[in-house]
Chains A and B, each alone.
Chain A
């Protein structure tokens, strides 16, 4: 009885050519997004989260090239969609709130013009008068005053308001998936909390699937029900949120989770992750994490570990994650 996957990424590799050489932002990744779940994709900047998310909209930047793999949405390979089909797929099926949500709106258009434009290109038969109540409802859902906000230009909104407008905007066509790329990065903690309570409410009311890209473990613990940890273009651990938090198996994931600040214990015994993120152009051989890993052994330097199931709905890519060894935590 496995839950249905709404997105299945298989063996996906995305390459970026740089003057110094080529790098794989996403490196043979398999990833499932469960229907109706809130999945958190966690990793450092540059670990490939955003690139992986972009492939789900088939909107990889022109310098990036998809070398292999597929992204299946509801039985269709999104990467094979072209032209009009692709255009209609975007936002209607999957919408995304970008990391740069603050600058995602055309400075010369009002919020209403944005909403109406996007609605019209997907529903060419629509009548503006009939859909305006829908705009109102969406903005009310994110606690904004539609009467006022619809008439405003992007620069007339505060950061938190813009973010809420983007959330309402992402729900415009009732997509089945929303990707949220660091949705609260530029906001203060109170606004962050507010945004997440709105997202939580939307999720509970609509059952929409969400993919949350973040590096904030605290946020993950609060809103997600599944977590995937990415390191240097690969998924290193994925599973149900409780399982992963309780039985963290990958040394990197473990470090991420234990270094998260908490009100309950002191910072004294927190060990920072030693070393720095790897140079993606010149990855270390074997497991990309081995130079920073306290449990690294000979095999880690030679062979890249594959994602292996170690418990129910719990997958890890680590040579030393089997019970009783190294970082593994299944007692």
Chain B
């Protein structure tokens, strides 16, 4: 069977497994969230508790008193209609509308951060592998050690203390200034960039270290391989060996990690987005969790899982493009 179709099939199976798992795990959490709302509704509208319960359950398309398989059927039917439910604490907002607001910002910040830290990591990691000793190597090792020991939200706090509160260079919260009109115009784009500088910087500072070490390890491994030695014996200049032999081979596993990291980061980093009040997936995730907005939480998780599955699919396809050894399968 076609490689692409087979991979697509696997992804679909993954998706089904994820939907069911998220659903079951979340429904195993104790407590009936509909109950307090039904009580409130019953006393407010003067109807019986049972009637109120029915109405609330219908509104959220979720009835914890039904047997779990019936709930699952109800949930999947909703999914197929593209209905992820409604935020419990803010019934005016459907989960889909929240996602459509939050997802683009997170994708924007995450992609730029990943591109920057990936490129930096590849270059510095390769450099470290080539120069085994020396100032560059020592200072990078020092940087990576420090940064990997500090949690990302601490870095977010440090950056906001310096650049937001002391130097007042960047805004405290939000994704763009209220003075600009969204659309394809210069002031809006500049504002968006301005507001994203600190979250991106935080991501880059915290994730570059990992890329450097990964790439260094991979490069050292490739440098020790027979074909690099053989290329030296053929009188191939070092520059070509580094580029065409070491970097290219060392980067193949990195590309897979890149796609997977992208999927993983769609969840945003709730603490980073939270610190800058940057309204992406992470910020909403933190909010949903804190306020026990169970439906929203379920929707966000599903969206993140889909991103991870998609990213894995892309990684698989990319991998087969980059490495001729995978191509034929």
- The residues of A with any CB-CB pair to B shorter than 8 Å are 57, 59, 86-92, 95-96, 98, 100, 103-109, 117-118, 121-122, 153, 155-156
Which residues from chain B contact A98 at a C-beta distance below 8 Å? Answer: 226, 229-230, 233
Known: A98-B226, A155-B324, A155-B325. Contact between A57 and B233, CB under 8 A? yes
Q: Is the CB of A153 within 8 A of B240?
A: no
Binds A, one of B50-58, B73-81, B109-117, B241-249: B241-249
Query: How many Å lie between the Cα of A156 and that of B244 in the bound state?
Result: 20
Known: A98-B229, A105-B227, A107-B325. Contact between A91 and B235, CB under 8 A? yes
Query: How many Å lie between the Cα of A91 and that of B232 in the bound state?
Result: 9
Q: Is the CB of A108 within 8 A of B230?
A: no
Query: How many Å lie between the Cα of A96 and that of B230 in the bound state?
Result: 9
Q: Is the CB of B233 within 8 A of A96?
A: yes
- Closest beta carbon of chain A to B248's beta carbon, Å: 5
Q: Which of A92, A106, A117, A156 gathers the greatest number of chain B CB atoms within 10 Å?
A: A106
Q: Is the CB of A104 within 8 A of B232?
A: no
- Closest beta carbon of chain A to B324's beta carbon, Å: 4
For the complex, count residues of B whose C-beta is within 8 A of A.
Answer: 22
Which residues from chain A contact B235 at a C-beta distance below 8 Å? Answer: 86-92, 118, 121-122
- Closest beta carbon of chain B to A258's beta carbon, Å: 35
Is B323 engaged at the interface, CB distance under 8 Å to the other chain? yes
Partner of B234, one of A91, A100, A103, A156: A91
Q: Is the CB of A121 within 8 A of B236?
A: yes
- Closest beta carbon of chain B to A105's beta carbon, Å: 6
Query: How many Å lie between the Cα of A122 and that of B229 in the bound state?
Result: 17
Q: Is the CB of B226 within 8 A of A117?
A: no
Could you write out 15 A-B pairs with CB less than 8 Å apart? A87-B237, A90-B234, A96-B233, A98-B230, A100-B226, A103-B225, A104-B226, A104-B230, A105-B230, A106-B249, A108-B322, A117-B236, A117-B244, A121-B236, A121-B240
Query: How many Å lie between the Cα of A92 and that of B235 in the bound state?
Result: 8
Query: How many Å lie between the Cα of A105 and that of B249 in the bound state?
Result: 12
Query: How many Å lie between the Cα of A103 and that of B226 in the bound state?
Result: 6
Is B231 engaged at the interface, CB distance under 8 Å to the other chain? yes
Q: Is the CB of B240 within 8 A of A107?
A: no
- Closest beta carbon of chain A to B218's beta carbon, Å: 14
Which residues from chain A contact B234 at a C-beta distance below 8 Å? Answer: 90-91, 95, 118, 121
A-B pairs, top 6 by smallest CB distance, nearest first, are: A104-B230, A90-B235, A100-B226, A103-B226, A153-B324, A87-B235
Q: Is the CB of B236 within 8 A of A108?
A: no
- Closest beta carbon of chain B to A181's beta carbon, Å: 11
Query: How many Å lie between the Cα of A99 and that of B244 in the bound state?
Result: 23
Partner of B249, one of A59, A96, A108, A156: A108
Q: Is the CB of B230 within 8 A of A153?
A: no
Q: Is the CB of A106 within 8 A of B325?
A: no
Which residues from chain B contact A59 at a C-beta distance below 8 Å? Answer: 229, 232-233
Q: Which of B219-278 contact A (CB under 8 A)?
A: 225-227, 229-237, 240, 244-245, 248-249
- Closest beta carbon of chain A to B51's beta carbon, Å: 68
Partner of B244, one of A91, A109, A153: A109
Partner of A118, one of B236, B324, B328: B236
- Closest beta carbon of chain A to B319's beta carbon, Å: 12
Query: How many Å lie between the Cα of A104 and that of B328 in the bound state?
Result: 21
- Closest beta carbon of chain A to B86's beta carbon, Å: 51
Q: Is the CB of B227 within 8 A of A107?
A: yes
Q: Is the CB of A108 within 8 A of B248?
A: yes
Interface contacts beyond A87-B237, A104-B226: sample of 10 additional A-B pairs, CB < 8 Å, sorted by A: A59-B232, A91-B234, A98-B229, A100-B226, A104-B230, A105-B227, A105-B230, A108-B323, A117-B240, A156-B328
Partner of B324, one of A92, A103, A107: A107
Which residues from chain A contact B322 at a C-beta distance below 8 Å? Answer: 108
Which residues from chain A contact B323 at a C-beta distance below 8 Å? Answer: 107-108
- Closest beta carbon of chain A to B220's beta carbon, Å: 13
Nearest to B231 among chain A residues (CB) is: A106
Which residues from chain A contact B227 at a C-beta distance below 8 Å? Answer: 103-107
Query: How many Å lie between the Cα of A87 and that of B226 in the bound state?
Result: 18
Partner of B325, one of A87, A90, A91, A153: A153
- Closest beta carbon of chain A to B254's beta carbon, Å: 14
Query: How many Å lie between the Cα of A109 and that of B245 in the bound state?
Result: 9
Encode contact with A along B197-229: 1 for CB under 8 Å, 0 otherwise: 000000000000000000000000000011101
Which residues from chain A contact B232 at a C-beta distance below 8 Å? Answer: 59, 90
Which residues from chain A contact B328 at a C-beta distance below 8 Å? Answer: 156
Query: How many Å lie between the Cα of A122 and that of B235 in the bound state?
Result: 8
Which residues from chain B contact A88 at a C-beta distance below 8 Å? Answer: 235
Which residues from chain A contact B225 at a C-beta distance below 8 Å? Answer: 103
Which residues from chain A contact B226 at a C-beta distance below 8 Å? Answer: 98, 100, 103-104
Query: How many Å lie between the Cα of A96 and that of B235 in the bound state?
Result: 12
Query: How many Å lie between the Cα of A103 and that of B322 in the bound state?
Result: 19
- Closest beta carbon of chain B to A200's beta carbon, Å: 24
